[in-house]
């Protein structure tokens, strides 16, 4: 078990954060730390815009970083469960990224 960081890009909508936090409790995972803020500098996220053919507007999306202490197998499961949340656009751990539901074997965020 080691501490790992998850990064999410998600729609900045009412209740969206509660879905992420609720999922951790519901599935028995633990949150060591949580940070969330609206994305203002879109430069690192241009690849998402290109991939989805959209343009982010200021205030529309947030970045979440979550630290959690788990083993490999559970980490993969957490990533996949988060990816299922409808408002999550992209989620990465150290090795993988789900971008709009599609798995990439690299950390893109």
- Cα–Cα distance for residue pair 7/20, rounded to 1 Å: 12
* Binder of another protein out of 58, 86, 105, 106 (CB under 8 A): 86
Q: Which stretch binds another protein (CB under 8 A): 34-42, 64-72, 77-85?
A: 77-85
Cα 37 to chain centroid distance, Å, stands at 13
* Binder of another protein out of 31, 36, 77, 104 (CB under 8 A): 77
* Binder of another protein out of 2, 3, 33, 54 (CB under 8 A): 54
Angle at the Cα of 26 from the Cα atoms of 20 and 27, rounded to 5 degrees: 95
* Binder of another protein out of 14, 28, 41, 43 (CB under 8 A): 14
Residue 99's closest CA among 45, 54, 60, 48?
48
Q: How many residues bind another protein (CB under 8 A)?
A: 26
- Cα–Cα distance for residue pair 82/57, rounded to 1 Å: 23
- Cα–Cα distance for residue pair 86/36, rounded to 1 Å: 18
Q: Which residues bind another protein (CB under 8 A)?
A: 10-11, 14-15, 18-19, 22, 26, 52, 54, 73, 76-77, 80-81, 83-84, 86-89, 98, 100-103
């Amino acid at each position: 078990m080691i501490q790992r960081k998850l990064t999410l890009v998600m729609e900045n909508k009412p209740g969206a954060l509660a879905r992420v936090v609720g999922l951790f409790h519901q599935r028995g995972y633990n949150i060591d730390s949580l940070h969330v803020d609206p994305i203002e500098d879109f430069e690192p996220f241009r690849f998402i815009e290109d991939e989805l053919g959209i343009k982010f507007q200021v205030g529309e999306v947030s970045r979440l970083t979550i630290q959690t202490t788990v083993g490999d197998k559970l980490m993969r499961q957490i990533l996949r469960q988060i990816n299922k949340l409808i408002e999550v656009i992209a989620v990465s751990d150290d090795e993988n990224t789900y971008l709009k539901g599609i798995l990439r074997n690299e950390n893109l965020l």
